[in-house]
Amino acid sequence: MERIDARLADGRELFYYFDKAAPPEGVPADRRDLPNVHTASELRYDALRDEWVVIAAHRQSRTHLPSDDQCPLCPSTADRATEIPAFAYDVTVFENRFPSFTSDVADFPEQPGRRAGRGRCEVVCFTSDHTASFADLTSERVRTVVDAWAERTAALTELPDVEQVFVFENRGAEIGVTLAHPHGQIYGYPFVTPRTRAVLGNIRAHWARTGRDLYVEILEAETASGERIVAATEHWTAFVPTAARWPFEVHLYPNRHVPDLPALDDAERDDFARVYLDVLRRLDAVYGVPMPYIAAWHQAPVRVDRELARLHLELFSSRRAPGKLKYLAGSESGMDVFVNDIAPERAAAMLREAVSSA
């Protein structure tokens, strides 16, 4: 893999990642005349829930469901300049033009429970092929993506305002995706997220009670049972969790305890490409239609509790049947209590039985 660093016309950073060698001629400059990005992100504290909420009104004007010929994530052409100046690319990462967090957020007088939304938001394009999906990628391309994720995670952890790095992909209009081009995002949060704080609190309490790592116990129990295992390799185990919240939910654990993506070695990165593609293709094969999903990487916070956290990927889909979706209704949205329509054991069996196109 090779990387070329560049900047867009408004000063945002852009990184090209190539599966093999970068083109000897380099990459073209952004020929657009762009105004500077203006953001007004603000954090407001919810004292009752002990959570920060992001107010980012400037995102109302972000690009929403453009036609295929107006996609801003496709390569540029001689007639149309996009967010990616190159006429072809393998993988690209660039600063989001409509970020929830940014280091360039305008200052405002600090008030109790309110502060500027400093941090970082990046877009990751997995391929220049507008009609593809992550499941269509080659293992070599997935390895390039993993290397890009790891490099950007390491870079964002060096930023003074970032406390947690979140790598994720939203796929499908049913999830609320506003750009159809295959892509994901990276958030550099200026706080440790509520989900992570709660999980690490449970891990810490379990250590205090038993002297054992709860992550290890979960992986050992799933491996011993085998009932919810979807795929297992030398370096990774993919399983449906016993208390799955979503109709189809798969967690992928590296068999070695590592805190984050940069800590994965070459063998683990190569093996992930194979097992993840297999899981994604099985997911699409369950009902014979593309599954909408969210793929969320859970990594250790930047500065606290790194010894407690274990890197893992949580993949989940809201599709419960052909033509039917699970919605976050009263119990889920109002009380954070999920009601799942498919037993986890049944979902795991359906995924094992699905014919992967790999």
Residues annotated as catalytic (active site), given as ranges: 183
Q: What is the DSSP secondary-structure string of 201-221?
A: HHHHHHHHHHSS-HHHHHHHH
Count the Cβ atoms, other than its own, within 10 Å of residue 134: 21
Strands 13-18 and 164-171 come out as unpaired
Give the integer Cα–Cα distance in Å for 297 and 101. Answer: 19
3-state secondary structure of 318: coil
Amino acid at 126: F
Burial (CB count <10 Å: 0-12, 13-18, 19+), residue 303: exposed
Give me 30's structure tokens. 């952004």
Amino acid at 215: Y
According to DSSP, the residues that pair with 189 across neighbouring strands are 164
CA-based nearest residue to 92, from 225, 185, 25, 172: 185
Place of tokens 């049947």: 321
